[in-house]
A and B are shown apart, each in its own frame.
Chain A
């Protein structure tokens, strides 16, 4: 900068000398008068907003009204949501003990949980599994995936550390910590009507985002799935390879398996719920779940006790604002109330202040009339 200053000076000097020289030769010098444009004279037309009492008060009261009404709507609709949440990490304590020892990985373990619906749950019913204390948002966890691989491409460079390949060099498919830790409990719902047990029909597709299912995940191209995944191995914690995730439905198998896709969309926090199944509305269940006794049959594979985690299974209905989450509604009501109250406070303060100012003005008038 020091140098550039000295240069600037010098350039100016030289220019001026040149100007002078040119000038002496009688050539016309360009006018150095600045343009009279609004921009250059800083006279651009402009909107000059001001915090007037009217604007501020109307702003506060309108916001207050808006927030209150939105809050009330949200609370009302959230209240209309029916939700059943069952923590099965304790209820299946045998299984959870078994799973603590990883050498028992291939031993099956089942447990059943009974519950009773006192009323019908009408409308679409969604089944979630919930995990607690599972840090899906940990940085090293979040980055440990290869979207190129999940798009069915051959990958050269891996983003999947530390679950990229086996020691012998066989790549894992799908690779990465996220895929490896995929939730693999199987949950079935049974309706105990009289003495017969009816399995509630559940939809296992259509549970993921459309873009995920159709854009983000693709199986490698080959004449069949098992050949497409030839040369790869399942992740270490998986019981079966990726092309056997859903043997019944070709379009729900491999990387495009809905359960897999849902799992791969990592949650923002350590406590989360993922959509697992939807109740298919046919026969008895055309209007939802009728009241009565139900049983969850859980094939318990996913160990959580090691990291002091918990597992839930959740049945819930939906409204326009999603499931039952009272937070937003309450927050709206609180802020609406606060805005309205602030509006009143401001009014009071303004009126008080105004009286004083008026007095002030009167004082001035007095002084001036004396003059």
Chain B
């Protein structure tokens, strides 16, 4: 059954509630609610807890429901299901395992299907798997022969085979199973499968048998692996909540002891007027009950709305990221996207960035730039050449292709056999699919951009790959159409790092063409190539030094007899029931041997726009950037220079090589020189450290060395090693890490790092799917971190500080009152005030601050990257800040209680009537509390937008409106026992004494804060304070065209602050 939604209308409430009550916080409040229902200890009405609890649950439930509903609304197109000889339309959600489904062209596959038959010959079918593995080329899938013959529906409907296969798993490229049908068994492989997420292309129709559906599909199995990430603030918050909980228990114990003593000393005598409750026979038991009563009334120190407010704020920040026009890439029409809404403030604390190179720093648009053919290097003169080579002789040429060295074309025209063979190889040895919309208008769909670039180069030089069928490849060689018989394709994979094709030319010669990584291929050449190999290696090193991506090309002629023998064995291996991959790999290995070297290609991958600037700014912000790439060392170093990670003053590029396996090589070798390493720059090739550096005792060594360096580039890293490096830094450095990448090979790294950023680029969307944030240009990273991240962190910290403060100020008053009311758990405030304080009177202003606050304008964060540092050092909210907030809250609560206490000791109204009654006291304290916390939020808010104004003034207005409404006659007449404060607001608040008390409380609570803040600002200003002060005059600042020089001048010392008071024009750019 294909079911993507979690709830339906009936199950929603119980299932959702069950899920929500699995959260500790919610359970805790449920427990409180149950406590409140016990009359002996119920110090508060049940609704003081249930209203906020229901509110919190509702908000969460609404969020869950909308998530789920969005899902349901995106109903998949109906599918055509074959049942009993007839096709019928059925919704995807009704499709079951074992159904046979008909798919049509361009349809999306919504379950894992076994291909049975298709419109194309041999049961072939083409699919696009971009959503699955990020590869944009088309792939071929083939039905097993016995089923592909079941062409029409009546035969298919009677198909009653049985499939036994592996259990659901997340391996996208493997499938093992067996089809039992008519007493025969047929092996099934991934080649027969259409996976969920694919799109059917160039195939009119096909039939498939549903093997896995819904959450069992490989796509779902993959996406489900995302680990739930928590921010460091989250973890801190949880610790603090636990502490607060402990504090709450302590307060409860103190007050319970107080109660026992009081009942023993005083309460016993007071029993004539107030006998103990039934069942209470001793002061000790009374103290025990009062412990629970106090737990109930003091529970507001553990704020119920904290978690939900934090979520709301993060959601707001995520929307700001999604809405940011400056992170929108017009070319690709992709806005930035916060795919996870729970990590925003961690963006303001990043210390390490792990970046992929290809597609992340570079554009991943490959340009064929140089080549070496038979020891001759072409493509040298690039820049000075006035005109690119003219390809007009070739009607099939791609007009966008440019090449500056005419000698290569001359070599082609002169008929140099090596050059011809070179391009023939390029036009034959690939997996590109071609599409010819009209005559001569060719489009290539390539698995990797490198392949596309190579085939396009061959096309322009006259070796045009025209079309392919499963058995043939048609090439226009200098105008002549030649069809080669395609005998075998030896696939590329990460271990082989090469691919080959075996073709039979029209003359009948069988030849193997191979292209692949130099390290692999050069070892497999025939010894007679030695001289040529040396020259080509020089060329390769030269190319790599320029940052080009290189491939080596080779060929081999095969004897007819040998090939037949080999292909026979290949066939047998292909039908082997198990370990098929191993057999195949061994056979491939055997044939790709003693090859003849043809040459090498060099492809340029251009840097993305703004990469050097971004890296420079991020470096200034004290963020360490490590580039992890699978490329060669030379290429990586070159990219390092071109993106300004490496600069010329880092003369000693320190390369750690560890080619020889062994402990005493590589990193430990130069630990003695660590002191000097600050000036040096190691490029750490991890390839050879694979077995060693990531071992337990070596990894620390590796990490220490790497961290002592100014820049780190790890080359030759596998996807797994990328993740291992990230894990290493996470583990030992306790720093926030961010991984950014664009390809499927970055997914593990993106998932491992605290924050994963996906670049939606050329390599599909797999990285994006695994990421927490995605955008299309590396340069947006600086805005994401320095503007959004910084603000998020700042806002979250200010929010938390204020939140804890306001709850302590609110709750601790009860604690002090306990000493004056016989520790009887009498609340200070009206129960409605307690209910509404957190959810109405004080929630919105602090939310507005948490969502909108800005300390300095956004462009300042870019101009002064040092502003990012407080987040990395975790300065704005840590345990120390927490205790300061708590202390402030307690201080406020003391004044909030004792000033009215002093006044009310024997106060009377101006007409002689009572004023010192409990209800007037409650109203006075509540009013001064609301006013004090509102003034405090006013002080904390640094950026008063209209929304902040509205919320702050609105909250105050709401307080008074609700106060008067609750104390009105009407409500009292309806529910006299619930609204006992009738007439209180109008009587109490008419007294000048009360207002003078409120004013005094406000002044005494706020003025010390103002004094401390000002003195801190005056004596030890933070960089942001200074920038803010300076920024007052010019609202949006002066644009800085020469950003680098400008920023460079700000990299002095950590204590350095921009100076804004000077007037000389020379430094005016600081303003």
Q: How many angstroms between the C-alpha atoms of A141 and B226 in the bound complex? A: 57
B858 is an interface residue with CB less than 8 A from chain A: yes
A323 is an interface residue with CB less than 8 A from chain B: yes
Instruction: Give the chain A neighbours of B18 by CB distance below 8 A.
Output: none
A9 is an interface residue with CB less than 8 A from chain B: yes
A215 is an interface residue with CB less than 8 A from chain B: yes
Q: Which of B340, B820, B912, B1007 contacts A124 (CB 8 A)?
A: B912
Q: Evaluate contact between A273 and B821: CB separation under 8 angstroms.
A: no
Closest partner residue, chain A, to B320 (CB atom): A42
Given A32-B335, A361-B1059, CB of A323 within 8 Å of CB of B976: no
B325 is an interface residue with CB less than 8 A from chain A: yes
B43 is an interface residue with CB less than 8 A from chain A: yes
Q: Which of A191-199, A205-213, A240-248, A282-290 contacts B (4 or more CB under 8 A)?
A: A205-213
Q: Evaluate contact between A321 and B910: CB separation under 8 angstroms.
A: yes
B858 to chain A, nearest CB (A): 7
Q: Which of B822, B1010, B1014 contacts A138 (CB 8 A)?
A: B822
Q: Which of A8, A272, A335 contacts B1004 (CB 8 A)?
A: A335
Restricting to B300-356, which residues have a CB under 8 Å from any CB of A? 319-320, 322-326, 328, 330, 333-335, 339-340
Restricting to A120-161, which residues have a CB under 8 Å from any CB of B? 124, 126, 128, 130, 133-142, 144, 146-148, 150-151, 153, 159, 161
A42 to chain B, nearest CB (A): 6
Q: How many angstroms between the C-alpha atoms of A215 and B340 in the bound complex? A: 56
B765 to chain A, nearest CB (A): 7
Q: Which of A70, A130, A268, A278 contacts B904 (CB 8 A)?
A: A268
B992 is an interface residue with CB less than 8 A from chain A: yes
A122 to chain B, nearest CB (A): 15
Restricting to B997-1047, which residues have a CB under 8 Å from any CB of A? 997, 1000, 1003-1004, 1007, 1010-1011, 1013-1015, 1017-1019, 1028-1029, 1032
Q: Which of A33, A48, A331 contacts B899 (CB 8 A)?
A: A331
A286-328 to B contact mask, C-beta < 8 Å, 1/0:
0000000000000000010011100000001011111101011
Q: How many angstroms between the C-alpha atoms of A146 and B269 in the bound complex? A: 25
Q: Which of B43, B946, B997, B1003 contacts A67 (CB 8 A)?
A: B1003
Q: Which of A15, A40, A50, A134 contacts B74 (CB 8 A)?
A: A15
Instruction: Give the chain A neighbours of B437 by CB distance below 8 A.
Output: none
Closest partner residue, chain B, to A268 (CB atom): B921
B606 is an interface residue with CB less than 8 A from chain A: no
Q: How many angstroms between the C-alpha atoms of A44 and B76 in the bound complex? A: 40
A222 is an interface residue with CB less than 8 A from chain B: no
B907 is an interface residue with CB less than 8 A from chain A: yes
Q: Evaluate contact between B4 and A181: CB separation under 8 angstroms.
A: no
Q: Which of B239-247, B572-580, B721-729, B981-989 contacts A (4 or more CB under 8 A)?
A: B981-989
Q: Evaluate contact between A14 and B226: CB separation under 8 angstroms.
A: no
A74 is an interface residue with CB less than 8 A from chain B: yes
Q: How many angstroms between the C-alpha atoms of A112 and B820 in the bound complex? A: 33
A91 is an interface residue with CB less than 8 A from chain B: no
B9 is an interface residue with CB less than 8 A from chain A: no
Instruction: Give the chain A neighbours of B1028 by CB distance below 8 A.
Output: 48, 50
Q: How many angstroms between the C-alpha atoms of A11 and B67 in the bound complex? A: 10
Inter-chain residue pair count (beta carbon < 8 A):
347
Q: How many residues of B contact A (CB 8 A)?
A: 123
Q: Evaluate contact between B902 and A209: CB separation under 8 angstroms.
A: no
B968 to chain A, nearest CB (A): 10
B980 is an interface residue with CB less than 8 A from chain A: yes
Q: Evaluate contact between B71 and A7: CB separation under 8 angstroms.
A: yes
Q: How many angstroms between the C-alpha atoms of A208 and B228 in the bound complex? A: 62
Q: How large is the interface on A (under 10, 10 to 19, 20 to 34, 35 or more residues)?
A: 35 or more
Q: Which of B272, B820, B948 contacts A307 (CB 8 A)?
A: B272
B964 is an interface residue with CB less than 8 A from chain A: no
Q: Which of A17, A50, A346 contacts B1011 (CB 8 A)?
A: A346
B576 to chain A, nearest CB (A): 35
Given A211-B983, A318-B911, CB of A33 within 8 Å of CB of B328: yes
B908 is an interface residue with CB less than 8 A from chain A: yes
B57 is an interface residue with CB less than 8 A from chain A: no
Q: Evaluate contact between A321 and B914: CB separation under 8 angstroms.
A: no
Given A148-B977, A272-B916, A364-B1059, CB of A139 within 8 Å of CB of B826: yes
Given A267-B917, A320-B910, CB of A331 within 8 Å of CB of B64: no
B972 is an interface residue with CB less than 8 A from chain A: yes
Q: Evaluate contact between B912 and A275: CB separation under 8 angstroms.
A: yes
Closest partner residue, chain A, to B787 (CB atom): A42
B640 to chain A, nearest CB (A): 30
Q: Evaluate contact between A44 and B945: CB separation under 8 angstroms.
A: yes
B60 to chain A, nearest CB (A): 10
Q: How many angstroms between the C-alpha atoms of A6 and B215 in the bound complex? A: 10
Q: Which of A52-60, A165-173, A226-234 contacts B (4 or more CB under 8 A)?
A: A52-60
Given A33-B328, A148-B977, A318-B911, CB of A140 within 8 Å of CB of B277: yes
Instruction: Give the chain B neighbours of A12 by CB distance below 8 A.
Output: 339, 769
B220 is an interface residue with CB less than 8 A from chain A: yes
A46-86 to B contact mask, C-beta < 8 Å, 1/0:
11111101001001100100010010001000000000000
Restricting to B267-296, which residues have a CB under 8 Å from any CB of A? 269-270, 272-275, 277-278, 293
Given A13-B197, A46-B944, A306-B269, CB of A268 within 8 Å of CB of B4: no
Closest partner residue, chain A, to B853 (CB atom): A46
Q: Evaluate contact between A51 and B1014: CB separation under 8 angstroms.
A: yes
B737 is an interface residue with CB less than 8 A from chain A: no
Closest partner residue, chain B, to A143 (CB atom): B826
B1048 to chain A, nearest CB (A): 14
Q: How many angstroms between the C-alpha atoms of A124 and B1059 in the bound complex? A: 67
A334 to chain B, nearest CB (A): 9
B906 is an interface residue with CB less than 8 A from chain A: yes
Q: Evaluate contact between B1015 and A1: CB separation under 8 angstroms.
A: no
Q: Evaluate contact between B4 and A353: CB separation under 8 angstroms.
A: no
Closest 10 CB pairs of A and B: A211-B983, A268-B921, A40-B323, A139-B824, A139-B826, A327-B902, A126-B912, A147-B976, A307-B269, A47-B944
With A5-B340, A13-B769, A273-B916 given, name 12 new contacts (CB 8 A): A32-B335, A42-B854, A50-B1029, A56-B1014, A60-B1007, A130-B906, A140-B277, A208-B914, A215-B969, A325-B907, A328-B903, A361-B1059
> B residues touching A (Cβ–Cβ < 8 Å)?
4, 6, 43, 64, 67-68, 70-71, 74, 76, 106, 108, 131, 197, 199, 219-220, 223-224, 226, 228, 266, 269-270, 272-275, 277-278, 293, 319-320, 322-326, 328, 330, 333-335, 339-340, 765, 769, 791, 820-822, 824-826, 852, 854, 858, 899, 901-922, 942-948, 969, 972-973, 976-977, 980, 982-984, 986-987, 991-993, 996-997, 1000, 1003-1004, 1007, 1010-1011, 1013-1015, 1017-1019, 1028-1029, 1032, 1059, 1061-1062, 1066-1067
Q: What would 13 A/B residue contacts be, using CB atoms closer than 8 Å?
A: A3-B6, A4-B67, A7-B67, A17-B108, A33-B333, A142-B826, A208-B913, A307-B266, A319-B910, A321-B993, A325-B907, A346-B1015, A349-B1018
> A residues touching B (Cβ–Cβ < 8 Å)?
1-18, 20-21, 24, 29, 31-36, 40-42, 44-51, 53, 56, 59-60, 63, 67, 70, 74, 102, 124, 126, 128, 130, 133-142, 144, 146-148, 150-151, 153, 159, 161-162, 177, 180-181, 207-212, 215-216, 262, 265-275, 278, 303, 306-308, 316, 318-323, 325, 327-328, 331-332, 335, 338-339, 342, 346, 349-350, 353, 361, 364-365, 368
